[in-house]
Amino acid sequence: MKRILLDCDPGIDDALAIALAHGSPELEVVGITTVAGNVGLERTTPNALSLTEFYGMDVPVARGADRPLLRAPDTASTVHGATGLGDVVLPTAKAEPDTRHAVDFIIDTVAASPGEISLVAVGPLTNVALALRKEPRLAEWVREFVVMGGSYTRGNLTPAAEFNIGADPEAAGVVFDAPWEPVMFGLDLTHQARATSEVRQRFVGLGKLQEELLSPCLDFYGSNRQYRDEGPAIHDACAVAHVIAPELFTTVRARVDVETSGRFTSGMTVTDFAPEAEHNALVATALQQRAFWDLLTEAFERVASS
Ligand code: BDR
Ligand code: CA
């Protein structure tokens, strides 16, 4: 069984990524850390706590950075709603966050089990960058580091930048410059994972999970103008799915550098697939869609019946 630590900013697709992780027998979720992103930290942390209770998870949630390293906070509340979960209102969680800051929680958890923890980041990379600055050996101690962020074509925050990278480009720069090999799930890949009406039909019958969370969340998420017609892209779950079943994805070695100073291109993940480039990342390019949705549906079924 793989042990996963999820750094996130719930967020609708973050909520689905947490459900996938919890419902997968191949994974043990050892912790969830929160960061400001889709909405502020004062929302992402309670959302993470409420989601874990709603799913029946017993897992620590540690609160992280409330703003990017250098820049003013930006949010994606037009896509995820003012609360981060569209129109869904979950009961307030009984549990309190872990007493440690997310940065210390990440370092402690990975240091306690070198080579065993899959660190997956699906929000802005502020916590991960701060953790690397505080404990550079994190880069060698993780089993793998998977990130939802970036793009090798176009962005969604700006024409050049994807949201998670564009929200804190300096942090992303620290993370991609560290001596590890991030597996990057950018928009080119995640836009292949769309919750079409056919996909959503498979969630019917999942009871409270479908009626109170999946359905209203996906209705809200899918109403965003970027997603009309094809269904919303379930970005963050792709990164979790890679930890469970890497064979579902095609990945290609590449050089990824984060633009931090461009007037129009700040937050761009400049990706060079040339064989002679000094590769520092594995970039996901293709997804086996049918098998991906099977994996998600089966995980959601387990969450719904637990
Ligand atoms: C990413 O940005 C957020 O809005 C989503 O949760 C996802 O992590 C997609 O660009
Ligand atoms: Ca996210």
**Tens digit of each residue's pLDDT (9 = 90 or more) over 205-262:** 999 999 999 999 999 988 876 666 789 999 999 999 999 999 999 999 999 999 999 9
Alpha carbons within 13 A on the beta-carbon side of 130: 21
| Residue tagged 């996938």 (tokens) | 20
Q: Please, what is the angle between helix 235-244 and helix 289-305, to 10°? A: 90
Q: How far is the CA of 121 from the centre of ligand 1 (A)?
A: 11
Q: How far is the CA of 247 from the centre of ligand 1 (A)?
A: 23
The whole-angstrom separation of Cα 110 and Cα 3 is 10
What is the number of the ligand 1 atom nearest to the C-alpha of 8?
A: 8
Pairing, β 249-258 against β 27-34: unpaired
User: Residue 223: its pLDDT value, please?
Assistant: 83
User: Residue 224: its pLDDT value, please?
Assistant: 77
Alpha carbons within 13 A on the beta-carbon side of 109: 29
* Cβ of residue 100 lying under 6 Å from some atom of ligand 1: no
ipTM score:
0.99
Please confirm, yes or no, whether 191 is among the known catalytic residues: no
The whole-angstrom separation of Cα 166 and Cα 156 is 9
Q: What is the mean pLDDT of residues 13-18?
A: 98
User: Residue 230: its pLDDT value, please?
Assistant: 82
